[in-house]
Structure 1
Amino acid sequence: MDGSAAGRRVFRYFDFVMAAFVTVLLLSNIIGASKRAVVDLPVFGEWYFGAGVLFFPVSYVIGDVLTEVYGYARARRCIWAGFGALIFMVVMAEIVVALPPADGWPFQSDYENVFGQAWRIAGASIIAFWAGEFVNSYVLARMKVWTAGKALWSRTIGSTVVGQGVDSAIFYPLAFLGTVGWTAEQVMWVALTQWFLKVAWEALLTPATYVVVGFLKRREGVEVFDTDTDFSPFAKQPRGA
């Protein structure tokens, strides 16, 4: 089935997968984005990383599932939904943090630390997500056609290597390059290590991806190949998609 035909079908589980995609995306920015964590690894010693690395790669896994099962056009719809949700979250967080606290309310500074975000970091995150997710979905859709639907692992991991590479290459320089406390070498090192961790996390989740993709394909009764799909992020959504 080509992508345009899939766009006219009604699927039972698509809305749930889309909701999971947006939820994980928002959680990765709310819960993990502001925390710097450290683990003590044998040989390597202390390894510092952003706690969001535990959440954010899962959105790429779900993005892979969306493209693999439902096709690029429907994945594109989810990416735009996530993009809009991120913008709404950032704007509303800024408004709520800026509201004057009631007299005697002692948690304003804590609230600002948790939910306040620098506009530069928030903007870099939104731009990097948009570009990285669209690249990820495009690469997976094209690889599915090239591999005739075989070797799912090759396109889930391959698309993540490229998509997360684009994400990291955009986010870290935009967010930190030229700021106090960050050298160009540190920005590059953090970008490379975070990219590696995200790809490794995707690889570890490959068995789970196989289970979810197999379940959805059986239940939905669909196998989508994007042979005639318009891959522009701004293309008009197919009717019924």
Structure 2
Amino acid sequence: MTMSSATSAHSGRVYRYYDLVMVAFVTVLLCSNLIGAAKAAQVTLPVIGPVTFGAGVLFFPISYIFGDVLTEVYGYGRDRRVVWAGFAALAFATFMSLVVLKMPVAPFMSDYQKSLEDVFGNTWRIALGSLIAFCCGSFTNSYVLAKMKLWTNGRWLWSRTIGSTLAGELVDSSLFYVIAFHGIWPLEKVIQVAIAQYILKTTWEVVMTPVTYKVVNFLKRAEREDYYDRNTDFTPFRLRV
């Protein structure tokens, strides 16, 4: 089978679990950005002392794990489609929150309206930061993993899951907190939280490596797929595989 025919066969295949992974990815993305991102949490660690971080860090890195799994098993092209599905979901959630908050409130709901505004009042900035950071970070993550898979000839999965996350999360964390919270939080807090976020996210990836291995190996066996992006167009601006 030639490279072009192999690519065509890949684009036309139907997978058992691909849609489920896509739904799980979008769900984690929405919840972590619209629920967790607005809250800054603080814990006191031995030796280090107080550490401030976005509460969404507990769950958002799971989306990067899904990104690693998608690229490793199905290839960059199919992960690109999932990234755009996540982008569309975030964009709609932003539009919906703005419309809901702007609608006239019933008198008996006035107190509740204030609570909604306190939580979602800056949703447009969070979502804008999320959209930009998510797209840039996710495509960086997928690109680096796909290229590292070729460089390593499919060996050392841990090196590319961790390496791609280091690159992707650096882009993501560098963009998100500046866009979402600059001028709302003190600048030193923005920088502090962004750095803490990056460290915690990448640590999550290392901790979850055994789980990533299990999921990847299961999907490769179940789908009979282990895609190599040897002839892939890596532009992010397309939906076709």
Shorter-chain TM band: over 0.9
The range that moved more, 37-46 or 67-76, is 37-46
Q: Is the 8 A contact 1:160 1:199 kept in 2?
A: yes
Per-residue CA shift, 1:2-42, capped at 9, x if unaligned?
65542221101000000000000001012211111111211
Q: Distance in 2 between matches of 1:46 and 1:192?
A: 14
Structure with higher RCO (Cα < 8 A, 6+ apart): 1
Cα contact 1:124–1:175 (8 A) shared by 2: yes
> What's 1:109 paired with?
114
1:149 pairs with 2:154: yes
> Is 1:212 the counterpart of 2:221 in the alignment?
no
Q: CA 1:180–1:102 in 2, change beyond 3 Å: closer, same or farther?
A: closer
1:5-84 pair list within 5 angstroms: 5-84=9-88
1:226 correspondence with 2:229: yes
- Of residues 137, 143, 151, the one that matches 2:142 is 137
2:29 aligned partner, one-letter code: L
Equivalent residue for 1:168? 173
Query: How far apart are the structure 2 equivalents of 1:153 and 1:173?
Result: 30
- Which SS does the other structure have where 1:66 is aligned? helix
Shift of 1:190: 2.5
SS of equivalent to 2:50? strand
Separation of aligned partners in 2, 1:145 and 1:30: 36
- Segments of structure 2 that go 5 or more residues without pairing to the other structure are none
Identity %: 56
In the alignment, structure 1 segments of 5+ residues that lack a partner are none
Aligned 8 A contact 2:52 2:196 in 1: no
The alpha carbon displacement at 1:180 in A equals: 5.3
CA distance in structure 1 between the partners assigned to 2:121 and 2:66 by the alignment: 27
Change (3 A) 1:181 1:37: closer
Matched residue of 1:31: which SS?
Answer: helix
Aligned with 1:124 (options 100, 123, 129)? 129
Task: Give the alignment's TM-score, normalised by structure 1.
Answer: 0.92
CA RMSD after TM alignment: 1.7
1:3–1:72 Cα contact (<8 Å) kept? no
